[in-house]
Amino acid sequence: MRTPSTGEPAAPLARRLRTIAEHGRCHNFHALPASALEQERLPDVSFSGSALDSFFAPRGVLAEAQELAAEAFGADRTFFLSCGTTIANRIATEVLGRLGTGILLDPRSHQSVHFGTNASPAEVAPLPITARGEPDLPAVQRMLADGRYGAIALNAATYEGIRLRLTEVLTGIAAVAPETVLLIDEAWSAIHTFSPELAEHSALPVARRLRDRGQPCPALLVTQSAHKTMLALRQAGYLHLVAGQDRRMGLESALRQAIYRQHTTSPSWPILGSLDTAREHAQAHGAQALAHALELSAEFTRALGDSGFPDDRGSAENPCTVTDPLHVRLRTGCGAAGSLQRYLYAEHDVYLPRTGPDTLVAHFHIGVRAEDVRALLHGLESWPGDRPDNGSPDGPRESGAEPRIGSVLNGFLLPYPPGVPLTRPGEVWTERHARLLAAHRRSGAEVFWVAQD
């Protein structure tokens, strides 16, 4: 392919990225754009072993950096990963699958957890969920008590900004089955550890509190996308281990083996280095930066209330869940989320992720400034509303056919984002699924059909 005007070889993706870089500030309410925060550039080297450190068996600077991170977060061990929480979840689910016990799987989990457990030899059952859409703790306790399930995968910080009340959840689980091993996906809340207010529901501070008080705490594998909330490069992820002394060596060695099997053998040293600087930054400035982000989010919500634009704050204030005050969800009316998303980006340089057919979410990460909030409010006030010609075409699908009502599926049907399966293999396709899928499509989601392994 050649550029028509010059006949030179074309690099269309690179050209587009350069255009974006030259365009100036985009008001990004998705994840922290590290480039906007004057990140120190670390060299992209191919060294390992003696020249720098071994990625799979670190003994030098990487080991030291990981220890500092474990101490800062309150973990027994922390591993740096350069392939996102997607790989961290695959690693953690592999460990759960080798424990020799059944796994309870939170259906609200990211696709990486679904795919990981689906590939596991363990028996996997859905974690009971209440009519309000939150984990049903008493029902979970009953399932744990019969001894068949010894592992749980939980989504504790969803794309929409719903967090689990982990003190209640962890103590409830420890009360009936203290030997349980939990995968806790905190993709969207890595930095929360560094804010007194937000740490209240964060896995590692909660585990530390329980242990300090001498209360039992289950073993935890905590996965975090540092790149979504901290000053780290894209794909930078932490995988933390918290385990009682008696479990620690077994789980640590299982994690090292799983990392060896799943991770790229060419880790990105700039990404790994950014996990080190992100931790350093969070320790020095995280509390202050989060206090500012909370202030901006509260100001925005007040202004939004005055404008009459509906949000659904507080709707997840249930016995087991709580809304993350840094994620403000905006209701658009059925199927209109994609239309508002495209309008804001095209007309106002505002980028907001779509999390469902009628929901966008404004994530007040630590890179958001007052000028971004003004741009978002102005964009929302100017929105002319959903128009019939605003629909986006269907996303890609590997299978052209829509499932028949009543048929049993042999794969996952996934609207992306948020990458949470509508259905898992073995489920029956119903009218409700069909309506939900149509609404996702109408609002601009890409829909993927992923066949059973």
Ligand X SMILES: Cc1ncc(COP(=O)(O)O)c(C=O)c1O
Stretch that binds ligand X, among 84-92, 279-287, 313-321, 427-435 (CB under 6 A): 84-92
Q: Which is nearer to ligand X, 185 or 276 (CB)?
A: 185
Residue 81's beta-bridge partner residues?
237
Which residues neighbour 146 within 8 Å (Cβ) at sequence distance 6 or greater? none
Please report, for residues 300, 310, 386, the alpha-carbon distance to residue 305 in angstroms, rounded to integers and kept in the order given.
9, 7, 20
193 counts as binding ligand X under rule CB under 6 A: no
- Work out the end-to-end distance of the chain between its first and last CA atoms, rounded to an integer number of angstroms: 36
Q: Which is nearer to ligand X, 159 or 429 (CB)?
A: 159
321 counts as binding ligand X under rule CB under 6 A: no
Select from 386, 426, 419, 384 the least CA-distant residue to 403: 426
Going through 280-421 in order, the beta strands assigned E by DSSP cover 321-323, 327-331, 350-351, 354-356, 359-363, 411-416
On the CB side of 423, CA atoms within 13 Å amount to 27
Instruction: Give the dihedral of Cα atoms 194, 195, 197, 201; nearest 10 deg.
Output: -30
Q: Which is nearer to ligand X, 83 or 241 (CB)?
A: 83
79 counts as binding ligand X under rule CB under 6 A: no
Between strands 237-242 and 77-81, the pairing is antiparallel
Residue nearest to ligand X (CB): 84
Select from 224, 263, 251, 219 the least CA-distant residue to 72: 224
Please report, for residues 130, 152, 183, 188, the alpha-carbon distance to residue 136 in angstroms, rounded to integers and kept in the order given.
5, 13, 17, 22
359 counts as binding ligand X under rule CB under 6 A: no
Given 118, 155, 193, 341, the residue binding ligand X (CB under 6 A): 155
187 counts as binding ligand X under rule CB under 6 A: yes
Stretch that binds ligand X, among 83-91, 362-370, 387-395, 398-406 (CB under 6 A): 83-91
**What is the nearest approach in angstroms of ligand X to the Cβ of residue 235?**
6
Residue with tokens 């996702």: 440
117 counts as binding ligand X under rule CB under 6 A: no
Q: Which is nearer to ligand X, 133 or 138 (CB)?
A: 133
Between strands 350-351 and 27-28, the pairing is parallel
Beta-carbon count within 10 A of 94 CB: 20
159 counts as binding ligand X under rule CB under 6 A: yes
Given 58, 74, 107, 237, the residue binding ligand X (CB under 6 A): 237
Stretch that binds ligand X, among 12-20, 81-89, 269-277, 389-397 (CB under 6 A): 81-89
Residue numbers 45-64 binding ligand X by CB under 6 A: none
For the record, the structure tokens of 28 come out as 């990004």
**What is the nearest approach in angstroms of ligand X to the Cβ of residue 86?**
3
158 counts as binding ligand X under rule CB under 6 A: yes
Q: Which is nearer to ligand X, 90 or 348 (CB)?
A: 90
Whether 219 and 252 have beta carbons less than 8 Å apart is answered as: no
110 counts as binding ligand X under rule CB under 6 A: yes
86 counts as binding ligand X under rule CB under 6 A: yes
Burial zone of 123 (CB within 10 Å; 0-12 exposed, 13-18 middle, 19+ buried):
exposed
**What is the nearest approach in angstroms of ligand X to the Cβ of residue 186?**
8
Q: Which is nearer to ligand X, 237 or 338 (CB)?
A: 237
Residue numbers 199-228 binding ligand X by CB under 6 A: 225
Q: Which is nearer to ligand X, 159 or 269 (CB)?
A: 159
Given 76, 185, 276, 386, the residue binding ligand X (CB under 6 A): 185
Stretch that binds ligand X, among 41-49, 69-77, 82-90, 128-136 (CB under 6 A): 82-90
Whether 45 and 256 have beta carbons less than 8 Å apart is answered as: no
For the record, the structure tokens of 246 come out as 């008696």
The residues that touch ligand X, with contacts defined as CB under 6 A, are 84-86, 89, 110, 112, 155, 158-159, 185, 187, 225, 237
